[in-house]
Amino acid sequence: MSFVLREVRHLLVDLDGVLFVGTTALPGAADFIAWLRQRGIAFRLVTNNATLTPRGYVDKLRVMGIEVEEDEVFTSALATALYLRKQRGTQSAYVIGEEGLFEALRGASVMLESEHPDWVVVGLDRKLTYDKLATGALALQRGARFLGTNPDLSLPADAGLLPGAGAIQATLTATTGIRPTVIGKPEPLMLELAMSQLGGDLSNTAMLGDRLDTDIQGAKALGIPSILVLTGVSSRRDIEQSKATPTLVVEDLAELIEVWTEDGTR
Amino acid sequence: MSFVLREVRHLLVDLDGVLFVGTTALPGAADFIAWLRQRGIAFRLVTNNATLTPRGYVDKLRVMGIEVEEDEVFTSALATALYLRKQRGTQSAYVIGEEGLFEALRGASVMLESEHPDWVVVGLDRKLTYDKLATGALALQRGARFLGTNPDLSLPADAGLLPGAGAIQATLTATTGIRPTVIGKPEPLMLELAMSQLGGDLSNTAMLGDRLDTDIQGAKALGIPSILVLTGVSSRRDIEQSKATPTLVVEDLAELIEVWTEDGTR
């Protein structure tokens, strides 16, 4: 093993493909969360999804038998709000998004403004209209800065892939020539903010996820070790073609507990 | 001069920046159309705008004192319909666009179908919604072919640039990874169809326009000579940086008549 699990004191945990798939808990998910608590490893459940609120995730997980607190959930919407609060001169934003994003921005006291906002913030919005795109494009041309909650180009649904936040951002980039700063994975900004919230640093924080192109790439961009669990999108075979290589690969969460326990007691 | 104007029997004429700017006729526009008729030069007024119908353009031009017939107007919507009619196995399309496009497709007997269309056709739609984008993206994933009326990324308005047909197409490309075939300038397809309607060929047809990146580039792509008139977007200075060089440059339509008359009588 190229890093020592027992030195990990803080863990960033992806949700879909790690704790559940769709609306079904993955085997060992509840046990894994309990094991982290017992072991004293602080964690944040991090997700690129900016449409749900932390409360929405707590409820969703509870139905699956997984108990977490609201402040253990960190969405790209919260990361976006936190990022905005740290920027100088941020008072207002024009927002294309859903409730999770609006709630997070309200929590950060960002005022909503369509004519002359400081920022145009774009996440997934399933009520998108041409007028919203036009308003966002014009605000960017008037000098607003451009922020994207997450870069996902598509959103998996039963019928196929639907347009994601990144595809909506692409419309504004095509119109104006301006590219957004993007918060969610594989960009390192959200992961960095989550690590900082935990009080962790590059020496004692790791990322656990199921996707090479977001979770593992994001960990690489931030500079922390990563654990790939094979219960989601990426397979062992995908690793060869990947730009980012996980530090550790496990079949499932049960194997991770086992390996971690062994390592921790050595 | 590197080509002989008197050999031109068919002329493709761009509208905005050539015959008018906004809602105001350019000097000499009505005279130029009359001169073309008197001289026996057949023409098509070609425009990337797929939202207006030919009748809409005839009315718009009449208000400015320029008299043309409906069948002298050739929009990218008409070119799109004509292109679809020529493709094997085209019976249905899912259409994102406005009245000009829907009317043209009705005229070509293309059935509207959202679930399993043969084509997804995308033009400018100022009533765009997320549901339309999702329906288009899913149809493409089920195997529909992807056609764009015109590639314009933005649409100039008083307040600034609004999202254009190309920016809407970009959303579907971002979602699905599929790129459209595009009909309008600077792609050669619309110009080729207009030339063919006139009964012209590469030896006796020319393009007249005000934009290097669309009109002159489109003429180059098709392989016909081009005349740049400096009453619109492109200036003489822009020519040096342009990928396509016009065959002839004139200040305005009056100069074009003058040069053409001299050349024709030599």
- Whole-model pTM: value is 0.92
Give residue A263's pLDDT: 79
Give residue B28's pLDDT: 95
Give residue A1's pLDDT: 44
Residue B266 has pLDDT above 80, yes or no: no
Chain A residue closest in CA terms to B133: A163
Active site residues of B: 14, 16
Q: Each residue of A3-57: pLDDT tens digit?
A: 789 899 999 999 999 999 988 999 999 999 999 999 999 999 999 999 999 999 9
- Interval A138-164 mean pLDDT: 95
**Are A173 and A190 members of one domain?**
no
Burial of B241: CB neighbours in 10 Å, binned 0-12, 13-18, 19+: exposed
User: Which residues of B lie closer than 8 Å to A, measured between beta carbons?
Assistant: 125-130, 133-134, 137-138, 141-142, 153-154, 159-164, 166-168, 170-176
CATH of the domain at B171: 3.40.50.1000
- % pLDDT > 70, chain B: 98
Give residue B22's pLDDT: 86
Assess whether A71 carries a catalytic annotation: no
Task: Residue B147: name the closest of B125, B179, B112 by CA.
Answer: B179
User: Which residues of A lie closer than 8 Å to B, measured between beta carbons?
Assistant: 125-130, 133-134, 137-138, 141-142, 153-154, 159-164, 166-168, 170-176
In a domain, B83, yes or no: no
Classify strands B160-163 and B154-157 as parallel, antiparallel or unpaired.
antiparallel
State the smallest CA–CA distance between residue A58 and chain B in angstroms. Answer: 28
**Are B109 and B157 members of one domain?**
yes
**Are A191 and A151 members of one domain?**
no
Asked which of B133, B158, B182 is the last residue of a domain, the reply is: B182
In a domain, A140, yes or no: yes
CB atoms within 10 A of CB B43: 19
Stated as kind and residue range, the H or E segment containing B80 is: helix B76-86
In a domain, A75, yes or no: no
**Are B178 and B205 members of one domain?**
no
Between CA B115 and CA A24 the distance in angstroms is: 29
Residue B1 has pLDDT above 60, yes or no: no
Between CA A184 and CA A166 the distance in angstroms is: 10
Look up residue B231 and give its two tokens. Answer: 């009453």
In a domain, A105, yes or no: yes
**Are A161 and A202 members of one domain?**
no
Chains A, B: CB pairs < 8 Å: 98
Q: Which domain holds residue A126?
A: 88-182
State the smallest CA–CA distance between residue B77 and chain A in angstroms. Answer: 20
Give residue A89's pLDDT: 83
Cβ atoms of A22 and A57 closer than 8 Å = no
Q: Each residue of B95-132: pLDDT tens digit?
A: 999 999 999 999 999 999 999 999 999 999 999 999 99
In a domain, B10, yes or no: yes
Chain A residue closest in CA terms to B135: A162
In a domain, A70, yes or no: no
Give residue A264's pLDDT: 65
Q: Which phi and psi (to 5°) does residue A44 adopt?
A: -130, 130
Asked which of B165, B182, B199 is the last residue of a domain, the reply is: B182
**Are A44 and A116 members of one domain?**
no
**Are B166 and B196 members of one domain?**
no
Classified as helix, coil or strand, B81 is helix
What ipTM was assigned to the predicted interfaces of this complex?
0.92
Between CA A50 and CA B211 the distance in angstroms is: 42
SS3 of A104-128: the string is HHHHCCCEECCCCCCEEEECCCCCC
In a domain, B205, yes or no: yes
Q: Do B163 and A154 touch (CB under 8 A)?
A: no
**Are A170 and A245 members of one domain?**
no
**Are A199 and A169 members of one domain?**
no
How many structural domains comprise chain B?
A: 2
Between CA A252 and CA A208 the distance in angstroms is: 11
- Interval B64-70 mean pLDDT: 97
**Are A99 and A178 members of one domain?**
yes
Asked which of B131, B165, B182 is the last residue of a domain, the reply is: B182
Burial of B259: CB neighbours in 10 Å, binned 0-12, 13-18, 19+: middle
Q: How large is the angle between the packed helices B165-176 and B130-141, nearest 10 degrees?
A: 50
Q: Each residue of B68-105: pLDDT tens digit?
A: 999 999 999 999 999 999 998 889 999 999 999 999 99
Cβ atoms of B174 and A167 closer than 8 Å = yes
State the smallest CA–CA distance between residue A156 and chain B in angstroms. Answer: 10
In a domain, B213, yes or no: yes
Query: Alpha-carbon torsion B211, B216, B222, B225, what sign?
Result: positive
